[in-house]
Amino acid sequence: MIFKQLNPGACRSYLVGSERTKEVVLIDPVLDGVDRYLRLLQSDGMKLRWVIDTHTHADHISGAALLQQKAQVHYLMHLNSNVKCVSKKLRERDALGLGELTMSFLHVPGHTQDSLLVLLPDRFLSGDFLFIGEDGAGRLDLPGGSAAAHHQSLRKLDTLADGTLMFPAHDYRGREHARLGEQRRSNPLLQPRTRDEYLKYWEELKLGPAEWMKQVLEANHACATEPSAASIPAESASGACAPCAAAAPVHGASRAPALTPVQLRERAAKDQARLFILDVREPDEYTGDLGHIPGSVLIPLGQLEDRFGEVPKDKTIVAVCKSGRRSARAAELLMAKGFRDAYTMTGGMQAWDDEELPVER
């Protein structure tokens, strides 16, 4: 089997095909890689049969429509896709043959209504349906997303063995793949939860709006072939493939250092000018019953990727939320962006109030 990941950075595109016949398919291509993909196919004597998107992308413009035009091949997505130029629609358990290789598909709505898993002999491509470890999965609050559908779709993984390799469409920590058995232990979304518990888990994340992502969805629905079709914030992973992982780390698994409410209060008393307290809740929470820490600045977690420029790099950043889950995620995002002195406050505003520390409303 030919199997290659073709992109640098966090956004993953895969070349899959037959070693015997040199027939291949490109899966989740990015727009700025199209010419590079075509040069590779030509230099290695490979014949492109199809191009596939595992879902409608919200963080970058797909290269599938342009490849369809340049290579004169079919563009495949799930039956539920609203992408206008898709020329062949896939259903659950459809199979495609490439020489001696067969690939099949599972429909896994949740991140989008058209999400697919691509099944290969010893591995699967998970798209944004599932990421590695603490990154969880793609956010579920954009048009077509559904936490209830995602919870149900996760059950389809039960048919796959622990040793099956998983290759996601994104990874922000330099990991190539993981075994499904490892994910059943480390991914917070694969921990046992009832449907209601799962819906509550996602509701508590309160990621908030990301209007530019909705623009990218619209551009992909319209089969855009120019980067100017959507305005992607320059600070979002250089604008090419922005982080869309949504799940907060499981308790105790965050890589970000932490301060307790009392420790934060003591630091503020010693040197308030060196601190930047970043509240990543939603506006109604900021002014709600729990209140907020005096002097804190509100940037909801869902807007943080667009507003990194408002966070000073010369101060100690302490992220705060309701319970500590969103703030752990925010601190990790800041660390990944180069903020070296970023913390999360354990227990969030609930713990702050339990210590009877001062608040404003």
User: Which pLDDT score, from 0 to 100, does residue 252 have?
Assistant: 41
What is the average pLDDT across 216-224? 96
Question: Model confidence over 292-331: pLDDT tens digits?
Answer: 999 999 998 878 888 899 999 999 999 999 988 889 889 9
What is the average pLDDT across 286-291? 94
Domain ranges of the chain: 2-213, 258-354
Please give the order of strands across the beta sheet that includes 275-279. 258-259, 342-345, 316-320, 275-279, 297-298
Question: Model confidence over 32-46: pLDDT tens digits?
Answer: 999 999 999 999 999
**Least confident interval from 213-222, 224-233, 316-325:** 224-233
Q: pLDDT band for position 250 (50/70/90)?
A: very low
**Least confident interval from 38-42, 161-165, 209-213:** 209-213
Share of the chain above pLDDT 90, in %: 74
pLDDT at 255 over 80: no
Q: Where are the alpha helices (DSSP H) in the chain?
A: 34-43, 64-71, 147-154, 180-186, 195-205, 211-221, 261-271, 283-286, 301-304, 325-336, 348-354
Q: pLDDT band for position 251 (50/70/90)?
A: very low
User: 2-213 with 258-354: one CATH topology?
Assistant: no
User: Which pLDDT score, from 0 to 100, does residue 76 have?
Assistant: 98
Q: At 298, give phi and psi (nearest 5°).
A: -90, 120
User: Which pLDDT score, from 0 to 100, does residue 210 have?
Assistant: 72
Q: pLDDT band for position 247 (50/70/90)?
A: low
Question: Model confidence over 122-143: pLDDT tens digits?
Answer: 999 999 999 998 788 998 988 8
Report field, pTM of the whole predicted structure over 0.85: no
Which whole-number Å values give the CA distances from 165 to 56, 105, 125, 136, 152, in the listed order?
23, 15, 9, 16, 21
User: Which pLDDT score, from 0 to 100, does residue 14 have?
Assistant: 98
Structure tokens at 308: 């990194």
Structure tokens at 257: 């250092």
What is the average pLDDT across 332-348? 91
User: Which pLDDT score, from 0 to 100, does residue 212 have?
Assistant: 82
What is the average pLDDT across 204-216? 78
Q: pLDDT band for position 237 (50/70/90)?
A: very low
CA atoms of 35 and 20, how far apart (whole Å): 25
Q: Of 263, 361, 352, which is closest to residue 316 (Cα–Cα)?
A: 263
What is the average pLDDT across 3-10? 91
Question: Model confidence over 51-103: pLDDT tens digits?
Answer: 999 999 998 999 999 999 999 999 999 999 999 999 999 999 899 999 999 99
User: Which pLDDT score, from 0 to 100, does residue 249 have?
Assistant: 47
**What CATH number should be reported for the domain whose range is 2-213?**
3.60.15.10
Based on its alpha-carbon atoms, the radius of gyration of the chain, rounded to whole angstroms, reads 22
User: Which pLDDT score, from 0 to 100, does residue 142 have?
Assistant: 86
pLDDT at 248 over 70: no
pLDDT at 111 over 90: yes
Q: pLDDT band for position 279 (50/70/90)?
A: very high
Q: Where are the alpha helices (DSSP H) in 231-361?
A: 261-271, 283-286, 301-304, 325-336, 348-354
**123: exposed, middle or buried (Cβ count in 10 Å: 0-12, 13-18, 19+):** buried
Structure tokens at 258: 């932490």
User: Which pLDDT score, from 0 to 100, does residue 236 have?
Assistant: 52
Average pLDDT, the chain: 90
CA atoms of 64 and 54, how far apart (whole Å): 11
User: Which pLDDT score, from 0 to 100, does residue 204 have?
Assistant: 77
**138: exposed, middle or buried (Cβ count in 10 Å: 0-12, 13-18, 19+):** buried
Task: Write down the architecture of domain 258-354 according to CATH.
Answer: 3-Layer(aba) Sandwich (3.40)
Question: Model confidence over 186-199: pLDDT tens digits?
Answer: 898 999 999 999 99
- Own/partner pairs, 152-159, CB within 8 angstroms, 24+ separation: 152/110, 152/195, 153/107, 153/108, 153/109, 153/110, 153/115, 153/129, 154/108, 154/110, 154/130, 154/189, 154/190, 156/106, 156/108, 156/117, 157/130, 157/190
First to last CA, the chain: 60
**CB 141 within 8 Å of CB 126:** no
Structure tokens at 306: 């667009």
